[in-house]
Chain A
């Protein structure tokens, strides 16, 4: 259906920035979608991480579980999983070259604004590791709290997100 993807918030970084927060999730839509394009760390081997936000502030409780398959171009695929973390690792260690590095992701978010349900998300991305290996993660994660989520925060485990990265939050029309 044409016009079913509604942009809610977009951020294109004009300067290196430590974190990016997009809010605007409410009861308007059942499903929300984050897209990340050209997200590069300014520090070698940094991991891109994520937290849901409530009233604009990141939820830092140890209630994040994740499971995904890590696809890679150089060796056997591996599984990644964790329970009761205080954040989600969206990537492994990333290349920080501003020309050849980069990470591109899509996250679909479910039940976010429903205060009686856990908030779920699916993840798919592709990025380059510091040694140039291409990797991609496919899977999902859940915030095991019945809270009202209104957005998400993206950040690296060290250093900044380089200028030029673009983050967009969409709602999927019912």
Chain B
């Protein structure tokens, strides 16, 4: 598991490697200013950190079967069968330790 500082360093390098970057302001194409590059590095670093720390939440939401299917599973096969399905989603998308 990378530290926040390590992820920020990765982000800084990715932005450096991607230069030059451009923005379009009211239909005028301009190269990033120093402030824009600094903000882009901060944003990318934060994004990497959030993905690492909290990405599992969205991944689990996307992977859980529809509630109606879960209720149907419980009705037909019981709680233990339902738990197997839910556990697989959790195991496939682990919470960072």
Contact = CB atoms under 8 A, between A and B. Distances in A.
B23 A18 contact: yes
A32 B47 CA distance: 29
B23 to A, nearest CB: 4
Contacts of B62: 75, 129, 133
A75 B23 CA distance: 36
Interface string A9-49: 11111110111111110000000000000000000000101
A49 B40 CA distance: 12
A11 B24 contact: yes
B25 A21 contact: yes
Contacts, number: 61
Chain B interface residue bracket vs A = 20 to 34
A21 B23 contact: yes
B26 A21 contact: yes
A58 B39 contact: yes
Given A58-B39, A75-B66, A21 B44 contact: no
Interface of B: 21-27, 29, 32, 36, 39-40, 43-44, 46-47, 58, 61-62, 64-68
Interface of A: 9-15, 17-24, 47, 49, 56, 58, 60, 75-76, 78, 86-87, 92-93, 129, 133, 155, 157-158, 160
18 contacts: A11-B24, A14-B29, A17-B24, A18-B40, A19-B36, A20-B25, A21-B23, A21-B24, A22-B26, A47-B47, A58-B39, A75-B64, A75-B65, A86-B46, A87-B43, A129-B62, A157-B43, A157-B47
